[in-house]
Amino acid sequence: MQLTRRRSAAMTLALSSSLQRSVPVGSYHIAAAFNHLSGRIGVRHNHHRLKSSSRDDPSLTSEATCYNHLKQSRPIRIKAKALHPSEAAATKAALANDDKSTSTITKLVHFQRHGQGTHNQLYQQWTDRTGIPIDLSETNPELNPLLLPDIIDAPLTDKGRNQCKEQRIDKSKYFAGVELIVVSKRDGDEEGVRWIAHEGIREELGLLLCNQRRPLKETRLEFPHVDFSLLAQHDESDEDVYWKQHFERTSIHNADGTPQRESMEDMSHRAYDFLVEYLYRRPEKEIAVVGHSAWLLAMTNAVLEFDEGSEDEEEFGTMFGQAELRSATLTFTEIN
């Protein structure tokens, strides 16, 4: 992929995620999952809809829960304000002249959810056929296809890649100042833009195998220029250690030995630690973070603080659509 230095951040941002692999890389695995279930749900294919909607992913709607007690209990508070395109130039200029001697630090962060993955497509097709969304807490693979081993670390569909390409075209000038891109399973250096893979922004741990990482040696081969040094080290069997630790810690609480799904509150602790222990301490002023739906939802609802009752709070309080981008200034203030 040939990119100019100044456009590379924006263009690669819109294409990046832990699911950046296109379907052909793992198509035989996904085909196995579809074949396993096709007799039960009569899978139908739809390659025409490009925009994300609740029909594509019924989990786009969620129940509102108040997490103010969590936010107020933390030693560093993170005030967020949505950034709109008309404000971008002035905001970037203000950040460039920010007085570092003050007790607060402000950064401009662009958050993006990955494009449609094969697990999203399977969810959609199951729901279209049965009329009932998959119960993601169901532990029977016959009733919850996201437990099938074939769906591990699901790649992007053609639709997912098209969604990212659309964002690349629409937002290329808007993100020209991005200095750092943080993703959950990729890291690299492309055309002068630094990439970092960070364990703290990966998707919900526990039950759903689409969120489990492939053996790291496979990913290293696919992305030979990637540095995975910030990810939890795999053991000699090349298992996903972070996933394995959560499995062992939570499965003892269930009689059938199945792990517990990571809660919104637990994900918010991970999100907070990532923002405070990592992003807050980075020298860059403008950063892009490519993450996942549940993790982003936990962060925007249980970590970031918006003006109460504001349009910003309402906008950021909903789940991100596929490949959706939202930008905000984050102001970090230490509470004495």
**Do residues 175 and 110 touch, judged by C-beta distance below 8 A?**
yes
275-300 pLDDT, tens digit per residue, is 999 999 999 999 999 999 999 999 99
Q: 329 in helix, strand or coil? A: strand
Which amino acid is located at 159 in the chain? K
Identify the CA nearest to 163 among candidates 14, 62, 320: 14
Q: How many CA atoms lie within 13 A of 46 on its CB side?
A: 17
Predicted confidence at residue 225, as pLDDT, reads 64
* Phi and psi angles of residue 119, each rounded to the nearest 5 degrees, phi first: -70, -35
Helices (H), the chain: 5-13, 27-41, 68-73, 88-96, 118-130, 158-171, 216-222, 241-250, 264-273, 293-302, 311-316
∠ CA 321-183-154 to the nearest 5 degrees? 65
271 — pLDDT class (breaks 50, 70, 90):
very high
Predicted confidence at residue 27, as pLDDT, reads 42
Cα dihedral angle (112, 114, 115, 118), rounded to 10 degrees?
Answer: -160
Q: What is the mean pLDDT of residues 5-20?
A: 37
User: Which of the pair, 167 or 265, is modelled with greater confidence?
Assistant: 265
Predicted confidence at residue 81, as pLDDT, reads 95
Write down the pTM of the prediction: 0.81
* Cα separation values, 109 from 172, 182, 325, Å: 15, 10, 10
